[in-house]
Amino acid sequence: AQKITQTQPGMFVQEKEAVTLDCTYDTSDQSYGLFWYKQPSSGEMIFLIYQGSYDEQNATEGRYSLNFQKARKSANLVISASQLGDSAMYFCAMIPSHRMGGATNKLIFGTGTLLAVQP
C-alpha cells in the first residue's frame, strides 16, 4: 500500500538550532516524488521542498534540506538555524507514481508533525 508515515506527532527545538522531522514512505513504484509542506497556525499550506526518486543529490531550499535515503525509504526534512516563525505543522507527502509533466499527480499526505520553536 502506498503510504506516508510521520512518527513524531510533536517536537520542540530551541531557536537557532537545527531540527530533523522524520518521514518514511511506502511505494512499489520506481519513479516517485516526495514533498514537504508547512502549515502555520493561520491554516494555509505552503510548499517547501521537492525530491525526485531519481535525483542523486539531496534537495535544498534555503534553510530547508531533504535527507533522502532511498534504500531506507526515508525523506527527512532538516531545518537549520530554527526561527520562531518555523513553528507550524509540517506534512510529508508523496506522489507515488510520478511522471514529469503528468497531469494526475495525486499527493498522499502523512499525518504531520507539530514543531514548536522555543526562544
Partner 1 sequence: NAGVTQTPKFQVLKTGQSMTLQCAQDMNHNSMYWYRQDPGMGLRLIYYSASEGTTDKGEVPNGYNVSRLNKREFSLRLESAAPSQTSVYFCASGARTKGEQYFGPGTRLTVT
Could you say whether residue 47 binds partner 1 (CB under 8 A)? Answer: yes
Could you say whether residue 40 binds partner 1 (CB under 8 A)? Answer: no
Give me the residues paired with residue 3 across strands: 26
Distance (Å, rounded) from C-alpha 99 to C-alpha 43?
29
Q: Which C-beta is closer to partner 1: that of 1 or that of 119? A: 1
Q: Number of residues in contact with partner 1, rule: CB under 8 A? A: 27
Backbone angles phi and psi of 86, in degrees to 5: -80, -10
Task: Return the SS3 of 32.
Answer: coil
Distance (Å, rounded) from C-alpha 19 to C-alpha 76?
10
* Interacting residue with partner 1 among 7, 40, 45, 70 (CB under 8 A): 45
Where on the chain is the footprint of partner 1 (CB under 8 A)?
A: 4, 33, 35, 37, 43-47, 50, 52, 91, 93, 95, 98, 100-107, 109-112
